[in-house]
Amino acid sequence: MKVDLNDVEYISETSLTIRGTRRRTTVPKVIVDKLKLKNGHKIRWVFFKDGSIFISKVTRED
């Protein structure tokens, strides 16, 4: 996937925590605020064959 950096607003890295069968990652505060995420909201993970991942907020229209 090619990314035009002129279209990028924010880039960050977070750690993944794995304990047994539970996997957790932290969504950066900037992203939570920009997407207005609240407890119980869903995010969609799309994994591509080239190893890249697209993450988006799930809306009712989805």
Render pLDDT for 8-59 as a digit per residue (tens, 0 to 9).
Answer: 999 998 888 998 888 888 899 999 999 999 999 999 999 999 898 999 999 8
pTM (two decimals): 0.73
Answer yes or no: is 10 within a domain. yes
Residue 3 has pLDDT above 90, yes or no: no
Measured over the CA atoms of residue 21, residue 42, residue 47 and residue 8, the dihedral's sign is: negative
The tally of domains found in the chain comes to 1
Instruction: Please tell me whether residue 51 adopts helix, strand or coil conformation.
Output: coil
Of 53, 54, 52, 55, residue with least CA distance to 41: 55
- Under DSSP, is residue 46 helix (H, G, I), strand (E, B) or coil? strand
For the record, the structure tokens of 7 come out as 């279209």
CATH number of the domain residue 51 falls in: 2.10.260
Is 62 part of a structural domain of the chain?
A: no
Domain annotation covers residue 47: yes
Residue range(s) defining the domain that contains residue 23: 5-57
**pLDDT value of position 24:** 87
Confidence at 62, pLDDT banded by 50, 70, 90: low
- On whether residue 39 sits in a domain, the answer given is yes
